[in-house]
Structure 1
Amino acid sequence: MTRILIVGAGPAGIRAAETLVAAGLCPAVVDEGSRAGGQIYRRPPEEFTRSPSTLYGSEAAKARHLHDVFDGLVRDQKIGYHPGCSVLGLREGIAQVLTPAGVISLPYDRLILATGATDRLAPVPGWQMAGVYSLGATQIALKAQGVALGRRIVLAGSGPLLTLVAAQLIDAGAEVAAVLDTAPWRTQVRGGARMALARPVFTLRGLRLRARLGHLYKAGVTLDSIEGDGTSPKAIIWRDARGRTHRTECDTVALGWHLRAETTLADLAGATFTWSQTWAQWLPRTDAAGRAADELYLAGDGMSLLGADGAEIGGRLAARACLDDLGYPTDTVAQRRDLRGARRLRRFAKGVADAFPWPADMIRALPDDTILCRCEGVTTGELRATLPLSGPEANRAKSLGRVGMGRCQGRYCQLAGVEVMAAATGARAAQMGRLRAQPPARPVPLAAFATREACQD
């Protein structure tokens, strides 16, 4: 039987697995989470007492259904499930997988990557100190452990996640001092109109969340710096839309500008990439069903930033594309319905991108002493100093200045580095090039290789 490997057990991976099982196949699913659900529908430990309606709000019914679907597949032994595991590398039909017991090799004939997305971050002077987190990390702590990462929290950035996390923290009883959005009102109104045309109910739901924030929410701000004693934030300095300077005291800052597609494994698997002007990042090139290369299929936010509903559609489309390529019959009516749904969600996503733009100008104006690469401690000035030798080429700048060489492998700093390089060289961001992915895709202790196992069927 054809061996199909799905990486990721969020909405996209769950729907892909369900579709393949319905066709009589038994895929293997590798997921970094200890329980399926992904980030948006992340599940807490078994003994956690907060209800799904509290954790997921209006999405609680969808979350429960997806969890039940996947749990049923595992219970009935319809899939091979590897929770708490990370794919480190892909080569010649073998996935190197880090498990709690060590590294194993999983062979596959077809690969579906449903790797999701991470926070898209922009540097702010002072962001390197402890107590500055991403919005996603803040949400994970709240969902998975019921913990607010701080006593007085400022959330800053832009995008729907900014509003959502702020509302979730307030509902949990945390003190939110301010919600600072770099997107001006005019872009929000223009993009919001497109969002409403594509998904009126969803847009209205977001507006209601926004209204609940009241005076805490500020639009069109510029983030100047995060003050602190080196161990934790004490305040954030920001300017409002009129240019007036404000100082908001806090002990925690959460940052995030929508999402960055997680594409490391797609790169290692042989996908090609193109610069997305809409999202100001490189995204894999696929057809409408998620085909990225021979025997390689992508689904969810790791392919196109369409959110949880788009991820479910993408998982079904990728699985059907795989089945079609294998000669299995597929439901053409359902396929056309999902393709229509994906087109509608792309219109909505374009509205989101227009409403909450990436703050390129703010990044390009960063002072030279601002830490750009948190892992390696590289400043924007040090990156600028490499450009006479490296020119406008990200991988040369990396080799000379170590930007993107650290633990995160450029996940946090690459897109901001592109803006710094583009401003300094007078070139377009798309001309800077994309940092090449290198295995291992995640940091791995050397001891894990001491318990390396043979290929598993």
Structure 2
Amino acid sequence: MREVVVVGGGPAGIGAALAALRAGARVTVVDTAEHLGGQFLRRPRTPAPQFGPSDHSGGPAPRRRPSGRDRLRRAVRAIEGHPAHTILDRTSVWALEPRDSAPTVHALRGDSDGGSPDHREAHTLRPDALILAPGAHDLTLPFPGWDLPGVFTAGAAQALAKSDGLAAGRRVLVAGSGPFLLPVAASLSDVGADVVGVVEAGSAGRLAAGWLRSPVGLLRDAAAGRVEELAGYLAGHVRDAIPYHVGAGVIAAHGAGRVEEATVASLRADWSPVPGTERRVAVDAVCVGHGFVPRLELPIAAGCGIGPHRAVTVDAAQHTTVPGVFAAGEATGIGGADLAVTEGVIAGWTAAGGRADDPLLRRALRTRERHRAFAARMRRAHAIGPGWPAWLTPDTLVCRCEEVPVADIDAACAVTGAGGPRSLRSLKLTTRAGLGPCQGRVCGTALTELVRRRVPHAVSSEPVDRRPIAAPIRLGELAALDTVGQTSGEDGDVPGEASAVPPARTPEGEE
């Protein structure tokens, strides 16, 4: 029986795990959360919201067809009920060690912020195939005041609302670009926040050109339920009287000690502000998201090839450039939960030994192409405009961890031709930008773009996400690794026997 390790318990990881189980593999899922599902299926931890719920029930809920969340929940139950599965929850993969087959996975299980150095369990997994589904993190472009308390990433604000029933503030402004702003605003409204507006940076023309291109494709997407879902969020905005503005953005936040106001301005098609259109909005929280960035630390550690668009390169079977390593979901390109699940199904089936041309995968392969077309439509509609640096002032922090302002970046770039930094890496070492606790996860995209504009030759195609230690680990934990009990799939101590695995019927990720 093949041993398959899936890193990541979001939609892609769920699809991969269930497909690999149904293909006859023994599967271990490694995830940092307590439950599978990622942000998409994040579960509440507290029963009541902070500011009081908004009740929009109006009687019994109408009958509806199963949603993507319903199908994903069924898939989670199927995984948890399968005899050949193991779930390592609250577990961080901190390193991958190359070997002839799939890399060795080094992980620590337990809370990372308390207890003695040996309070986390060390696990070493040596699978026959490794599926990387690490997901993505928020992309937030800097602006003056984005370091004030009360400025949240859109994902963090939604996580607070979903997990704890907590609103980021009483008067909240949601801004940035992309359809994700709509569910974020809905989550905040559901926990009692007064969402004073949703501000979309893309112009009406750009949105129309992106979303309405190829009407036949749009009808196909509507049939798949995605357009219906977006329409549902827009209907909720109308119901809750949440203003929705296009071609505008938050270009500054203001406050003494925390955010008290946000400056909103109309934006040109390139996202540069239109002079004279600035207005201040009284808020106590700003939730900003300009899209997402794939998490590439583990794929890079495994040696996977990274394409020009900062995504893992995969073939038709979701196989990377490294033998035994597959990738699925946002790491291969931002595309949403539906695409992530489908890519996971294909990766899981083939990682378990199934053929990519297996007739059982025909439906999944067709579905993947449809979802990829939808993702391309979304990227065109919400592409970041090149004029966003016009928001910045010399004292705007680019790197919040190390408190590095734009002026320091400019000064370092100005001397590159006179013995100064000659590469992005040397510039980071000179200014400390991107070297703080987040290791450039928050500022990396903006920093790279600012340097590229000033010193194009300093930015190479080499990814900036190379972090051999992919997750925080204490020196005491490193020292104790030779004595802490370990788990190895190679040694056969992952639950599940070959005789207990039912024959595969479908890889589609549904019951």
CA shift for structure 1 position 205 = 3.4
Residue 318 in structure 1 maps to residue 347 in structure 2: yes
Mapped pair 1:233 → 2:233 = no
Displacement of 1:329 after TM fit? 5.8
Instruction: Check if 1:275 corresponds to 2:301.
Output: no
Q: Classify the secondary structure of the residue corresponding to 1:290.
A: coil
Secondary structure, aligned partner of 2:260: strand
User: Which structure dedicates a bigger proportion of its chain to helix?
Assistant: 1
Distance 2:371 2:66 in 1: 20
* Offset, 1:312: 0.9
1:437 aligns with 2:466: yes
Distance 1:318 1:345 in 2: 16
Summarize the Cα distance change of 1:68–1:337 in structure 2 as closer, same or farther, 3 Å threshold.
closer
- Greater shift in the superposed pair: 235-244 or 77-86: 235-244
Question: Which residue in the other structure is 2:399 paired with?
Answer: 373
Identity of aligned pairs, percent?
28
Task: Determine whether 1:397 maps to 2:397.
Answer: no
Contact preservation (8 Å) 1:394, 1:432: no
Kept in 2, the 8 Å contact 1:418–1:429? The answer is: no
Q: 1:365 to 1:66 in 2, by over 3 A?
A: closer
Aligned to 1:385: 411
Asked whether 1:263 is paired with 2:264, we answer no
C-alpha separation in 2, matches of 1:429 and 1:289 = 35
Q: Distance in 2 between matches of 1:362 and 1:431?
A: 22
CA distance in 2, matches of 1:257, 1:32: 24
The structure whose Rg is larger is: 2
* Structure 2 counterparts to residues 145-224 of structure 1, below 5 A: 145-194=164-213, 196-197=218-219, 199-200=221-222, 201-210=225-234, 212-213=236-237, 216-224=243-251
**2:374 corresponds to:** 348
| C-alpha distance in structure 2 between counterparts of 1:252 and 1:186, whole Å | 29
Establish whether residue 12 from structure 1 lines up as the match of residue 12 from structure 2: yes
Greater shift, 183-192 or 382-391, is seen at: 382-391
Shift in CA distance, 47/132, structure 1 to aligned 2, threshold 3 Å: closer
Query: What's the counterpart of residue 415 of structure 1?
Result: 445
Per-residue Cα deviation, 1:46-97 (whole angstroms, up to 9, x for no partner): 97899xx99xx98974324423432343344421110011101101332221
In structure 1, distance between residues paired with 2:202 and 2:30: 37
Tell me which moved more, 310-319 or 391-400.
Answer: 391-400
Q: Among 323, 326, 331, which residue is 1:297 paired with? A: 326
Q: Is the contact between residue 191 and residue 354 of structure 1 (CA under 8 Å) also seen in structure 2?
A: yes
Please state whether the residue corresponding to 1:21 is helix, strand or coil. Answer: helix
Aligned counterparts of 1:330 and 1:347: Cα–Cα separation in 2: 20
Question: Which amino acid in 2 is paired with 1:125?
Answer: P
Separation (CA, whole Å) in 1 of partners of 2:480 and 2:410: 43
Q: Deviation digits for residues 108-131 of structure 1, max 9, x if unmatched?
A: 232100111111110111111221
2:212, 2:378 → 1: CA distance? 10
Q: Cα RMSD (Å) of the superposition?
A: 2.7
Q: Secondary structure at the match of 1:275?
A: coil
Deviation of 1:433 after TM superposition, in Å, equals 4.3
- Give the secondary structure class of the aligned counterpart of 2:352: helix
Provide TM-score, normalisation by structure 2: 0.80
Greater per-residue strand proportion: 1
Cα displacement string for residues 259-299 of structure 1 (whole angstroms, at most 9, x for unaligned residues): 111111111111111222xxxxx111111221112111001
Partner SS state of residue 261, structure 2:
strand
Q: Is the deviation greater in 409-418 or in 328-337? A: 328-337
Unaligned stretches of 5+ residues in structure 1 = 277-281
Instruction: Report the CA distance between 1:149 and its aligned residue.
Output: 1.3
2:158 to 139, 153, 161: 139
Aligned twin of 2:286: 253
Give SS of 1:27's match: strand
Q: Deviations over 1:194-224 (max 9, x none)?
A: 3725512422432442354356211111432
Aligned length: 443
Q: Equivalent residue for 1:23?
A: 23
Residue 16 of structure 1, CA deviation: 1.0
Say which is worse superposed, 400-409 or 140-149, in terms of deviation. Answer: 400-409
What secondary structure sits across from 1:284 in the alignment? Answer: coil
For 1:45-60, list aligned pairs within 5 A: 45=45
Paired position in structure 2 for 1:309: 338
Q: Give the distance between the partners of 2:66 and 2:107, measured in 1 at CA.
A: 32
Distance 1:362 1:330, change over 3 A: closer
Residues 368-412 of structure 1 show CA distances to partners (whole Å, capped at 9, x for unaligned) of 211111111111221222223366632222222222211211111
Matched to 1:442, the amino acid is A
Given that 1:419 and 1:429 are in contact with CA atoms closer than 8 Å, whether structure 2 keeps it comes out as no
Displacement of 1:252 after TM fit?
Answer: 0.8
Structure 2's unaligned 5+ residue stretches are 58-62, 111-118, 268-273, 489-511
Bigger Cα displacement from structure 2, 72-81 vs 1-10: 72-81
Give the Cα separation in 2 of the matches to 1:175 and 1:448.
45
Q: Is 1:358 aligned with 2:384?
A: yes
